[in-house]
Amino acid sequence: MLYDHLTIVGGRAHPALAREIADYLGITLAAVEIADFPDGEIGVKLNQNIRGCDVFIIQPTGPPVNRNIIELLILIDACRRASAARITAVLPYFGYARQDRKDSGRVPITAKLVANLITTAGADRVLTMDLHAAQIQGFFDVPVDHLFAAPILDEYFQGLKLAGKDLVVVSPDEGSIKRALQHVERLGGALAIVDKRRSSAMNTQQANLIGGPIRGKTALLFDDMISTAGSIVGAVTVVKSHGAGDVYVGTTHPVLCGPAPKRLSESPIRELVVTNSLPLSAEQRLPNMKVISVAPLLGEAIRRIHRNESVSYLFD
Ligand code: R5P
């Protein structure tokens, strides 16, 4: 079935990205009023008719995570009750993704809970990017299109002429090895892995480097997200202590909470390349940071979903 009237609704999580996506598609954002009531509840009003429309709601669920999730659910509910034909939740960043399994007794699987909430609210599809674990797609009982920012990041690093034999792509932990290997395939160079142990949500311990050698070489570290920056800064310290030359970091989701801006600015990172999957405050924007827009990638995926065209072309 083809849907008429492509409609983009932007929540308050990332209005600039919603605008960029609408610009890519050559349409204007839907007229929506969103405001907080004095007690903190969120009020939403659609100021245009969306009956029968193919609606895409742009709302990364980054900090403030809980507010952004509830606002997304309320927006979905408003669109459903306004008789939208189809509703797609566009989650450039999906929060709570790290709580995706019972890793000790009597803990929730919050990623699954949030997926249930989104589908129960009325989302017919989900469009997302670089989920912390690809299996989270299966938490949703509706179709999920899962995009990757890695090719966009690699294109940027290719432009810096980092590719080649003097490059070592470093996985900051064992969970990111597969991702690092894909970067090696595109950029060339060798692979190294940092042995990371997490001691708490705020702190990690890293000491050993597996693979290499890295002495005198350019190190390029990739991670799906930087939250407190404990993982990435610890990994940078390890590669530097093993004699690496210039160190570059690429990440899709700059969550950058708590001590992250300070930790990153004190770390010997030559350039930190992030996407705009999440908004950045003035404090989070660092002098050595390059922000690459994912609006064309998301916009193109929306265009293809709307026209029932293949999206898998965008995965390469
Ligand atoms: C871990 O598995 C992730 O890929 C990231 O390395 C981690 O979640 C980043 O968190 P933080 O910046 O707080 O160390």
DSSP states along 45-109: EE-S--TT-EEEEE----SSHHHHHHHHHHHHHHHHHTT-SEEEEEESS-TTTT--S--STT---
- The reported pLDDT for the residue numbered 14 is 98
- The reported pLDDT for the residue numbered 164 is 75
Give the atom of ligand 1 at the shortest distance from the alpha carbon of 198: 14
Least Cα distance to 187 among 213, 209, 215, 156 occurs for 156
- The reported pLDDT for the residue numbered 240 is 97
Dump pLDDT digits (tens) for 139-165: 999 999 999 999 999 999 999 998 777
User: How far is the centre of ligand 1, averaged over its atoms, from the C-alpha of 162 (Å)?
Assistant: 24
Give the atom of ligand 1 at the shortest distance from the alpha carbon of 204: 14
Least Cα distance to 289 among 249, 262, 255 occurs for 249
**CB distance 149 to 297 below 8 Å:** yes
Q: Pocket residues for ligand 1 (CB within 6 Å)?
A: 98, 172-173, 175-176, 204, 223-232
- The reported pLDDT for the residue numbered 1 is 55
Give the atom of ligand 1 at the shortest distance from the alpha carbon of 227: 12
Q: Tokens 């432009």 appear where?
A: 159
Dump pLDDT digits (tens) for 172-208: 999 899 999 999 999 999 999 999 887 787 778 887 8
Q: Can you tell me the mean pLDDT for 253-282?
A: 98
- The reported pLDDT for the residue numbered 48 is 97
Is the model's pLDDT at 2 over the cut of 60?
Answer: no
Catalytically active residues, by annotation: 196
- The reported pLDDT for the residue numbered 196 is 84
203 three-class SS: coil
Q: Residue 307: left (phi > 0), alpha (psi -120 to 50), or beta?
A: alpha
Dump pLDDT digits (tens) for 95-134: 999 999 999 999 999 999 999 999 999 999 999 999 999 9
**What confidence tier does 221 reach under pLDDT thresholds 50, 70, 90?**
very high
Q: Tokens 């969970």 appear where?
A: 175
**Domains (ranges, CATH) in the chain?**
5-148+295-315 (3.40.50.2020), 150-292 (3.40.50.2020)
User: How far is the centre of ligand 1, averaged over its atoms, from the C-alpha of 98 (Å)?
Assistant: 9
Q: Which DSSP letter does residue 133 get?
A: S
Dump pLDDT digits (tens) for 293-311: 999 999 999 999 999 999 9
Tokens found for residue 159? 């432009």
